[in-house]
């Protein structure tokens, strides 16, 4: 138990430094409300597409690139949180998509859908999409290791300290 706790603490600590793949949890869905937050360090996303999947990320500013690698015919979109389309691509590498907008620092949405489920390419259009946890596998490769939801460092250090204190306490008790 202690070993597992220690391993997870180390995983939390290293996630702030190392680039990591992000795997869709359940269904990322088709709206701002259900968009899954990419963790700090994400350099690739793996998921299953049934209609549309949307991810939310924080960006420090500059060139952002995303490349889709799938067994189907995908489309990629970048929206701001108001739903404005900042980038869109259908076919760049064969049928695979590539977007490369230059973004100011802030929060954005990255969406993938299939040409077979064309909802008009606007965020509001995706409201007609379904939602299920199955579908066709995809990978989206991202250009920057700094992508993700910003986590204030003092808070995570405090959390780590709290967990270690808990570990020490449990050791004393049992
Ligand atoms: Ca999905
Ligand atoms: Ca395509």
Q: Give distance in angstroms: CA of 133 to centre of ligand 1.
A: 5
Q: Give distance in angstroms: CA of 36 to centre of ligand 1.
A: 10
Q: For residue 18, what pLDDT is reported?
A: 57
- Return the domain boundaries, the chain: 19-149
The CATH class given to the 19-149 domain equals mainly beta
Instruction: Please say if the pLDDT value at position 17 is more than 70.
Output: no
List pLDDT tens digits, range 25-72: 999 989 988 999 998 889 999 999 999 999 999 998 999 999 999 999
Residues 156-164, mean pLDDT to the nearest whole number: 53
Which ligand is nearest the CA of 98, by number? 2
Percent of the chain scoring above 90 in pLDDT: 52
Instruction: Give buried/exposed letters for 73-90 (b at 16+ CB in 10 A, else e).
Output: ebbbbbbeeeeeebbbbb
Q: For residue 149, what pLDDT is reported?
A: 61
Least confident of 91-100, 113-122, 154-163: 154-163
φ, ψ of residue 62 in degrees (nearest 5): 115, -170
């Amino acid at each position: 138990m202690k070993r597992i706790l220690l391993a997870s603490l180390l995983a939390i600590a290293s996630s702030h430094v190392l680039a990591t793949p992000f795997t869709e949890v359940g269904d990322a869905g088709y709206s701002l409300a259900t968009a899954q937050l990419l963790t700090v360090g994400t350099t690739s996303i793996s998921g299953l597409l049934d209609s549309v999947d949307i991810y939310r990320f924080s960006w420090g500013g500059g060139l952002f690139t995303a490349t889709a690698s799938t067994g189907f015919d995908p489309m990629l979109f970048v929206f701001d949180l108001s739903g404005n389309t900042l980038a869109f691509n259908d076919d760049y590498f064969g049928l695979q998509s590539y977007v490369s907008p230059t973004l100011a620092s802030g929060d954005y949405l990255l969406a993938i859908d299939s040409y077979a489920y064309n909802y008009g390419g606007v965020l509001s259009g995706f409201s007609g999409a379904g939602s299920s946890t199955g579908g066709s596998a995809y990978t989206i490769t991202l250009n920057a290791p700094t992508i993700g939801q910003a986590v204030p460092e003092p808070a995570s250090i405090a959390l780590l300290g709290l967990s270690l204190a808990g570990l020490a306490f449990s050791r004393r008790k049992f």
